[in-house]
Amino acid sequence: MKHMIIFVVLAGCSTTTDSIMPFPASLTYGGRSPVVNAPVGSSFGYDVRDEFGDRYQELYEVKADHTVRLVTRFKYSRSF
Protein backbone atom coordinates (compact mmCIF):
# COMPACT_ATOMS: atom_id res chain seq x y z
CA MET A 1 0.00 0.00 0.00
CA LYS A 2 2.82 2.43 0.85
CA HIS A 3 4.44 1.79 -2.51
CA MET A 4 1.22 2.54 -4.35
CA ILE A 5 0.80 5.89 -2.58
CA ILE A 6 4.40 6.87 -3.34
CA PHE A 7 3.95 5.89 -7.00
CA VAL A 8 0.78 7.98 -7.32
CA VAL A 9 2.46 11.01 -5.72
CA LEU A 10 5.54 10.70 -7.91
CA ALA A 11 3.48 10.15 -11.04
CA GLY A 12 1.81 13.51 -10.48
CA CYS A 13 5.22 15.19 -10.27
CA SER A 14 6.59 13.91 -13.52
CA THR A 15 5.44 16.33 -16.17
CA THR A 16 7.38 16.97 -19.33
CA THR A 17 7.27 19.79 -21.83
CA ASP A 18 6.09 17.29 -24.44
CA SER A 19 2.75 17.13 -22.65
CA ILE A 20 1.78 20.62 -23.87
CA MET A 21 -0.81 20.13 -26.57
CA PRO A 22 -0.55 22.72 -29.35
CA PHE A 23 -3.59 24.80 -30.28
CA PRO A 24 -4.74 24.83 -33.93
CA ALA A 25 -2.97 28.19 -34.36
CA SER A 26 0.29 26.93 -32.79
CA LEU A 27 3.40 26.49 -34.93
CA THR A 28 3.62 22.78 -34.08
CA TYR A 29 -0.07 21.87 -34.41
CA GLY A 30 -0.78 18.63 -36.26
CA GLY A 31 2.80 17.43 -36.11
CA ARG A 32 4.19 20.21 -38.25
CA SER A 33 7.41 21.91 -37.22
CA PRO A 34 8.58 24.83 -39.32
CA VAL A 35 12.24 25.24 -40.20
CA VAL A 36 13.60 28.52 -38.85
CA ASN A 37 16.79 30.43 -39.55
CA ALA A 38 17.88 30.91 -35.93
CA PRO A 39 20.74 29.61 -33.79
CA VAL A 40 20.29 26.11 -32.36
CA GLY A 41 19.17 26.29 -28.74
CA SER A 42 17.74 29.77 -29.04
CA SER A 43 14.14 30.47 -28.16
CA PHE A 44 11.41 32.82 -29.29
CA GLY A 45 7.86 33.73 -28.36
CA TYR A 46 4.75 33.38 -30.49
CA ASP A 47 1.31 34.88 -29.77
CA VAL A 48 -1.64 32.57 -30.27
CA ARG A 49 -5.34 32.39 -29.40
CA ASP A 50 -7.24 29.29 -28.35
CA GLU A 51 -10.70 28.29 -29.57
CA PHE A 52 -12.30 30.51 -26.90
CA GLY A 53 -10.38 33.63 -27.92
CA ASP A 54 -8.03 33.61 -24.93
CA ARG A 55 -4.56 34.95 -25.72
CA TYR A 56 -1.39 33.01 -24.98
CA GLN A 57 2.33 33.47 -25.42
CA GLU A 58 4.03 30.25 -26.51
CA LEU A 59 7.76 29.74 -26.09
CA TYR A 60 9.55 27.69 -28.75
CA GLU A 61 13.09 26.31 -28.76
CA VAL A 62 15.13 25.75 -31.93
CA LYS A 63 16.31 22.14 -32.23
CA ALA A 64 19.52 20.90 -33.91
CA ASP A 65 17.76 20.39 -37.25
CA HIS A 66 16.37 23.98 -37.07
CA THR A 67 12.81 22.84 -36.47
CA VAL A 68 11.05 24.07 -33.34
CA ARG A 69 9.73 22.50 -30.16
CA LEU A 70 6.95 23.95 -28.00
CA VAL A 71 8.47 24.46 -24.55
CA THR A 72 5.82 26.31 -22.54
CA ARG A 73 2.73 28.47 -22.80
CA PHE A 74 1.58 31.45 -20.73
CA LYS A 75 -1.96 32.80 -20.68
CA TYR A 76 -1.88 36.58 -20.59
CA SER A 77 -5.40 37.81 -21.22
CA ARG A 78 -8.97 36.67 -21.46
CA SER A 79 -11.43 37.88 -24.05
CA PHE A 80 -14.89 38.90 -22.94
Residue with the bigger pLDDT between 25 and 5: it is 25
Inside any domain, residue 21: yes
With respect to residue 52, please indicate whether it lies within any of the assigned structural domains.
yes
pTM of model > 0.75: no
In a domain, 66, yes or no: yes
In a domain, 6, yes or no: no
Cβ-contact 69, 25 below 8 angstroms: no
Q: 67 lies in which domain range?
A: 17-77
Closest alpha carbon to 53 in 22, 31, 75: 75
Do 38 and 66 touch, CB atoms closer than 8 A?
yes
Establish if 3 belongs to a structural domain: no
Number of domains in the chain: 1
Classify residue 59: in a domain, yes or no.
Answer: yes
Higher pLDDT, 16 or 26: 26
Decide if 2 is inside a domain: no
Q: Is residue 26 one of the residues assigned to a domain?
A: yes
Cα(52)–Cα(13) distance, integer angstroms: 29
